[in-house]
Structure 1
Amino acid sequence: MKSFLQFRVLLILVIGISFVSCRDADEGIPDFPEGSTEYKNVWVQDSMKRYYYWADQMPAKPDYHLSVKDFFQSLLSPQDRFSYIVDTQDSSTYPRSIRNMYGFDYAILQLGNGDVVTVIKLVLNNSPAMNAGLKRGMMIKKINGTLITASNAEQLTSSIPNQTVFELTVGDWQNNTIVNEKNITVYYGYSFEQSVMSKIFEENGKKTGYLYIYDFPDGMTQTLNQKFIEFKAAGVQELILDLRYNYGGSVSSAAALCSLIPSGITANSQFITYKGNKNGGEVKRTFAQQIAYDPNALDFNTLHANALGLNKVYILTSNNTASASEIVINNLKPYLQVTQIGQVTLGKDMAGFAIEDKRKPKKVTWQIHPVIYKVFNANGEGGYSNGISPQIMVNEYIALPLLPLGDSNETLLSSALNKIYSKSAIYKSTSDQNGEVLFESDKPFVDVRR
């Protein structure tokens, strides 16, 4: 959930969010009793009229008697997959997912021989899942004693976020079968912030830096800067960014990462353009300006002093690459060659910030997370709501078991290394090849309107 709460877009560009109403006197909306559902819905409508990207598509006469969540849904554009609303005094209204509650994700695949298997693709560090013994590449055979099939996978997954503990039957994948089966109990809990993982690969005197970035929280510029100091000192000549599971986060942190890669940019080089509704207008931001919106960030000049000065970069992506990580891909393109490897990204070409009642005392406890801006790069390129397509399409599940992230033989990473070192891609010839994804446990999370 955190990734969707972290857009740090320029708040002073829009009128403050402590307003009471933006309604005209002749709109004919009754003065509902303070504290009533209808009163809260009017506040939601007023807020959305001011900030929502598709405000001009909102219904003129919505039903104020609906529950707040249903009323909010009734205002949304059919094009909107991402706006959501929560009650800050009711934790049950927040988006839930297996990843943010337990710290792992899995995919259900149909193999080339017709078999259906469930593979753990991600386990967060210092998470309940890791503490329970789950690892990337393990196979899940049962959830709470029920054998997973293509027909019941979504039902089983949707039930997990409503529990605080569940049991998995897992095993290892060997010779096209699950071995070493065991039962593991996973408890609901907190996953600590994920560290940035880096490695350096060398072949024939050419050094390649690898950087796995799980998300873009505010306050990560020190970490990024240190990684690039190490890359530069080692003489890294090529760079691979692994953003395959990165849902996004702070645009400022994304800008900081971008400032550390190409040559030929300055503090005043344009990084991003935000385009909002008639109230938000169009706003352009340089690298330095966008980075500075994180009050704890290192400044552009400090960061860029450690830039690798590259003219190309390789970026690993999946259908879960979203938001600020897509901004990295799109907004680097005016300044260097971007070679994307993997799958089409999610398609979150937009940004926003939380809107809440700032009156004292607060009269409405709901908090809105609407789409407020569409985002574009320095060349005015954006509009990737259907995702950004890679130049090199690679199925992460082409060979099982999945290897650890950062392993040079792991499918996506090896594809990038093969490209850099001019090798042909070589994969195991097994029935696992071209495993079709039937279901992924993180899909309900990325579409937070559910």
Structure 2
Amino acid sequence: MKRFKLPLHLLFSLIFSITFLYNCTENEETIIQEVEQPEEAEPVTLNNDVNDFVWAGLNEVYLWQQDVPDLADDKFETFDEYYTFLNGYNTPESLFDDLLYQKDVVDRFSYIVDDYIELENSFQGTSNSNGLDFGLVRLSGSNDIFGYVRYVANDSDAASKDIKRGDFFLSVDGQQLTINNYVDLLFGSNNTYTLGMAEINNNTIAENGKTVELTKTEFTENPILLNNVIESNGIKIGYLMYNSFVANFDKQLNTAVGELKSNGITELVLDLRYNPGGSVSSAIYLSSMITGQFNGEIFSKEKWNDKYQAYFEANNPEFLINRFSNKLSDDTVINSLNLNKVYILTTESSASASELVINCLRPYIDVVQIGTNTTGKYTASVTLYDSPNFGREEANPDHTYALQPLVLKSANKNGETDYFEGLTPDYTITYDSGSGQTSEGENLVDLGILGDINEPFLAKAISLITGVTSKLNYKKPTMGVEVKALADTKDFTPLGKGMYKNVKLNIKL
């Protein structure tokens, strides 16, 4: 037990008792009588040291620490009380979940992992993956679900197979996907599986007899999927599809933007529709690349829990401010486009750092958001390890648990935050569903080719830029089936829809 401290009034009582006993022994007239003393109860022992780490980490820096009674600084008066409380939980995961503030209602994004090596790899864009990014939807009134391919990562196993964006699959290894088995079949321990492909015809989906075998390996995905220049009506438009804010790729991102700049683009379409977030610093760098004229000005402001907020405001208020930059962390000069307007494509899968870019650019330039509402995550987390200062060094060698709790919420220059329902687009993309109703988002039967001028989301951006509506060379089909979104590939990575900040918690409060 390393971290729990006795309350001050108990410490004072202990000091008084020791002093009193000492004075009595000095008094020769003190009469000591033999009195039968009651047996002292055996002290409570801690069953799992990881539980201590979980409580101490959340008590230290959790964003809503002051709102969770069981995380109060004065919650426990004795070690026995503390240990008894921790021993009431059989696993660190159950303790962690029970200490969260309104889990899945207010706090939807804090999590615990039992393998921080895997977590660290995910921050670098590395995971056990075949490179297929897909969404899963549920058929109306049924437990059966099907998958649709959103994109195929460059240089991946899937990129070498006969599978592409817009394809559907209904089964894995011959088993129909259902609400009860899809996690095990698609995200279980089986690194190689075979997808049973499908087609939608006459408002129904059925397998078409085609199969595709895919194999997962340790794969590092380049988040820059596409970086093209589109010329339309005499205007040079940059199109950048960026699928995760990964700090290891900041230099490649800077190079990609530099290529757009050297090609003389005057407009930029930034595609974040499948970007779940990532590094805060990468979000600042990307925003600085889009602009450039606001170097040193406030990008975002942070709000921590009551303890840390008071400390920072009193001792280091600049810590709470993130500013636009003209250099990367290694002093590489940022390639800035100096734009006054940017077009950003979003869906409900656009989260965290993606939303940070939109919200924090809006006070400075015209951000035209196209698509559907974003996820609604304005909070960021840090990684806590089981060490004296919660850092990676001196981490407990007996386990690889780590915490990824939300520790701050971000606001833009004007203090705008708390977009719990997501950021609302200026232009909503809709399509006609099979029931005759108008639905929002991507039409799964008409996803289009990413980067193609006729792809619905990009086509809308180009029409806004040029003032000319694209003439599609095919008839848009209807959805054909009513579906409900269930999950997507990135929900099952350690990072998930997360935004994280690298910070050393060496503050003594």
TM-score norm. by structure 2 comes to 0.71
Structure 1 counterpart of 2:153, from 100, 110, 124: 124
2:242 equivalent to 1:213:
yes
**Alpha-carbon separation, structure 2, partners of 1:436 and 1:243:** 23
| Structure 1 partner of 2:349 | 320
Q: For 2:128 and 2:271, locate their aligned partners in 1 and report how far apart those are by CA, in whole Å.
A: 20
Equivalent residue runs for 1:195-206 within 5 Å: 195-196=223-224, 197-206=226-235
Partner of 1:12: none
> What's the TM-score once normalised by structure 1's chain length?
0.80
Question: How far apart in 2 are the matches of 1:434 and 1:343?
Answer: 20
Determine whether 1:160 maps to 2:160: no
Give the deviation of 1:203 after TM superposition. 1.8
User: CA separation of 1:86/1:320 partners in 2, compared to 1, >3 Å: closer, same or farther?
Assistant: same
Are the counterparts in 2 of residues 270 and 284 from structure 1 also a CA contact under 8 Å? Answer: yes
Question: What is the CA deviation profile of residues 156-202 of structure 1, one whole-angstrom value per residue up to 9, with x for unaligned ones?
Answer: 24543223132211156689777863112223322322152211111
Contact 2:170 2:207 in 1 (8 A): no
Q: 2:487 aligns with which of 430, 440, 444?
A: 440
Shift of 1:105: 1.5
Of 256, 275, 279, the match for 2:303: 275
Instruction: Report the equivalent of 2:7.
Output: 25
Secondary structure, in 3 states, of the residue corresponding to 1:439?
strand
* Structure 2 residue aligned with 1:187: 215
For 1:315, what is the secondary structure of its paired residue?
A: strand
Aligned partners of 1:107 and 1:120 also within 8 Å? no
Root-mean-square deviation (Å): 3.4
Task: State yes or no: 1:87 paired with 2:122.
Answer: no
Contact preservation (8 Å) 1:40, 1:68: yes
| Structure-2 change in CA distance of 1:86 and 1:119 (3 Å) | closer
SS at match of 1:260: helix
> Partners in 2 of 1:203 and 1:384 — Cα distance?
35
2:316 corresponds to which residue?
none
Does the alignment pair 1:284 with 2:321?
yes
The residue that corresponds to 1:339 in the other structure is 368
Rounded to whole Å, the distance in 2 between the matches of 1:137 and 1:218 is 30
Match for residue 64 of structure 1 among 87, 91, 96: 87
Q: Which residue of 1 aligns with 2:459?
A: 414
The answer for the alignment partner of 2:197 in structure 1 is: 170
Mean Cα deviation higher: 196-205 or 82-91: 82-91
Comparing 414-423 and 181-190, the one that deviates more: 181-190
Gaps of 5+ in 1: 1-18
The one-letter code matched in structure 1 to 2:95 is F
Are the aligned partners of 1:219 and 1:297 in contact in 2 as well (CA < 8 Å)?
Answer: no
Preserved contact between residue 326 and residue 388 of structure 1 (Cα < 8 Å): yes
Amino acid of the structure 2 residue aligned with 1:379: N
Asked whether the 8 Å contact 1:317–1:343 carries over to 2, the reply is yes
1:199–1:209 contact (8 Å) kept in structure 2: yes
Deviations 1:319-347 (A, max 9, x none): 11111111111111111010111111111
Unpaired runs of at least 5, structure 2:
11-41, 76-84, 313-319, 389-393, 430-439, 499-509
Which residue of 2 is the match for residue 76 of structure 1? 100
2:419 — aligned with what?
384
Matched AA of 1:286: R
Q: Equivalent pairs: percent with the same residue? A: 29
For residue 94 of structure 2, give the secondary structure of its aligned residue in structure 1.
Answer: helix
Q: Matched residues in 2 for 1:355 and 1:284: separation?
A: 22
Single out whichever of 200-209 and 167-176 deviates more from structure 2: 167-176
List per-residue Cα deviations over 1:388-447 (Å, max 9, x = no partner): 111111144336242232122112111111211213366634232796444333475347
The amino acid of 1:190's aligned partner reads E
Residue 478 of structure 2: aligned partner? 431
* Deviation, structure 1 residue 100: 5.6
Structure number with the bigger relative contact order (C-alpha 8 A, sep ≥ 6) is 1
1:404 matched to which residue of 2? 449
Q: State the match for 2:168 in structure 1.
A: 139
Q: Relative to structure 1, is the Cα distance of residues 122 and 23 closer, same or farther in structure 2, using a 3 angstrom cutoff?
A: farther
Cα displacement (A) at 1:27 = 10
Cα 1:339–1:182 shift into 2, 3 Å: same
Partner of 2:278: 249
Quote the offset at 1:297 in angstroms: 5.7
Aligned residue-pair number: 408
How far apart, CA to CA, are the structure 2 residues paired with 1:327 and 1:423? 30
